[in-house]
């Protein structure tokens, strides 16, 4: 039987992968860390595949947390934007660097938020981490064939959530710069030109101010209306895509993530929940 020191070392060894799994499952770094800490208390005897066993333990914790979150949700239309990963050069936390290495766009994470917990788990484990359905099945309490169906249903929902092909980073930066200039100048027509007709804006303030806005004219109207004095904005790479970090007196007040396809903005996801922003290092 291996001792506690052995299992602590194994958890630390696999921590980047386990945290990446939990982040994709939960869309929350705080919850991902909680799931990892709960799982780190486990130990086993004569485990052949330590990495697979640890992934299973963390996945079970995440599934319980997803089901609890779903049960607490009063309004199925609640707007929730996942925690962003803001790229900040050499100072990125090693655990976050593991997430960035295989970036998952905010738009994809938002779609994952809408899935049934078992569907999300099956899709994340199989499609993102190549876990066999034979290992997923006992976690969700289904047969391997049923677990395959869960992932298939999730895959159909996910398809089209993120643009295909290699992104043009320079073009994306230009589009976000144009958004900033038009929003600051109250240029409604200029904003509409940047937006897909069916663009979606999700704003998560953590409270009553959260909102879901659809349509180019409606989103442009929101962007030109909200111009708080003293707010500074800088371009950032958010979950591998173009974004903005807005600050007031050096305090982060919002992170915006843009999804761009065929030269147009198709989604804008805004995290403006003060309590969640306070847990993110956005100063670098």
Q: What is the CATH number of domain 4-158?
A: 1.20.140
CA quadruple 76, 109, 246, 186: dihedral positive or negative? negative
Q: Contact at 8 Å (CB) between 131 and 18?
A: no
pLDDT value of residue 4: 63
pLDDT at 91: 42
Tell me the domain boundaries of the chain: 4-158, 169-277
- What pLDDT score was predicted for residue 13? 81
Please give the mean pLDDT across all residues of the chain: 84
- For residue 16, what pLDDT is reported? 84
Q: What is the pLDDT at residue 121?
A: 97
pLDDT at 33 over 70: yes
CA angle 176, 181, 182 (to 5 degrees): 95
Q: How large is the average pLDDT for residues 184-200?
A: 94
User: From CA 258, how far away is CA 243, in angstroms rounded?
Assistant: 6
- What's the pLDDT tens digit per position in 217-257? 999 998 887 767 788 888 999 988 899 999 988 889 999 99
pLDDT at 97: 46
pLDDT digits (tens, 9 = 90+) for 162-186: 766 677 888 999 999 999 999 989 9
pLDDT at 2: 57
Region 191-208: mean pLDDT is 93
Higher pLDDT, 252 or 4: 252
pLDDT tops 70 at residue 76: no
> What's the predicted TM-score (pTM) here?
0.82
- Provide CATH code, domain 169-277: 3.10.450.50
Rounded Cα gap, residues 237 and 260, in angstroms: 13
Q: What are all long-range contacts of 212-221, with beta carbons under 8 Å and residues at least 24 apart?
A: 212/77, 212/79, 216/191, 216/192, 217/192, 219/191, 219/195, 219/268, 220/188, 220/191, 220/192, 220/195, 221/188
Tokens of 62: 């995440």
The string of DSSP codes covering 41-92 is T---SS-S-HHHHHHHHHHHHHHHHHHHHHHH-S-TT---PPPP-EE-GGGS
Q: What is the mean pLDDT of residues 19-27?
A: 91
- The pLDDT tens digits for 86-102 are 875 444 444 444 444 44
The pLDDT assigned to 98 comes to: 46
Coil, strand or helix at 130: coil
Q: Say if CB 191 and CB 221 are below 8 A apart.
A: no
Find out whether 200 and 212 touch, Cβ atoms under 8 Å: yes
Same fold for the pair 4-158 and 169-277: no
Q: Rounded CA gap, 85 and 280, in Å?
A: 9
Which residues on neighbouring strands pair with residue 223, listed in sequence order? Answer: none
Total length of the chain: 284
User: Measured between alpha carbons, how far is 259 from 219 in angstroms, rounded to an integer?
Assistant: 14
Structure confidence by residue, pLDDT tens digits, 47-69: 567 778 888 889 999 999 999 88
pLDDT in tens, 94-152: 444 444 444 578 888 988 988 999 999 999 999 999 999 999 999 999 999 999 999 99
């Amino acid at each position: 039987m291996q001792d506690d020191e052995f299992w602590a070392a194994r958890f630390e060894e696999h921590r980047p992968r386990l945290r990446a799994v939990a982040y994709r499952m939960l869309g929350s770094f705080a919850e991902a860390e909680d799931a990892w800490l709960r799982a780190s208390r486990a130990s086993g005897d004569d485990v052949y595949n330590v990495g697979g066993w640890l992934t299973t333990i963390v996945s079970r914790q995440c599934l319980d947390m997803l089901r609890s979150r779903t049960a607490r949700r009063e309004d199925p239309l609640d707007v929730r934007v996942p925690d962003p990963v803001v790229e900040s050069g050499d100072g990125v936390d090693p655990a976050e660097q593991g997430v960035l290495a295989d970036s998952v766009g905010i738009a994809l994470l938002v779609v994952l938020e809408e899935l049934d917990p078992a569907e999300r788990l099956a899709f994340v484990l199989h499609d993102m981490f190549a876990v066999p359905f034979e290992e997923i099945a006992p976690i969700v309490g289904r047969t391997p064939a049923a677990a395959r169906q869960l992932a298939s249903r999730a895959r159909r929902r996910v398809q089209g959530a993120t643009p295909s092909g290699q992104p043009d980073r320079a073009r994306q930066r230009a589009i976000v710069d144009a958004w900033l200039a038009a929003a600051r100048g109250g240029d409604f027509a200029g904003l509409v030109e940047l937006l897909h007709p069916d663009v979606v804006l999700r704003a998560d303030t953590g409270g009553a101010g959260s909102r879901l806005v659809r349509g180019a004219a409606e989103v442009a109207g929101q962007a030109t209306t909200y111009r708080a004095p003293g707010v500074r904005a800088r371009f950032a790479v958010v979950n591998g895509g173009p974004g903005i970090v807005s600050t007031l007196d050096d305090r982060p007040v919002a992170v915006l993530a843009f999804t761009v396809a065929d030269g147009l903005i198709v989604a804008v996801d805004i995290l403006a929940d003060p309590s969640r922003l306070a847990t993110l290092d956005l100063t670098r």
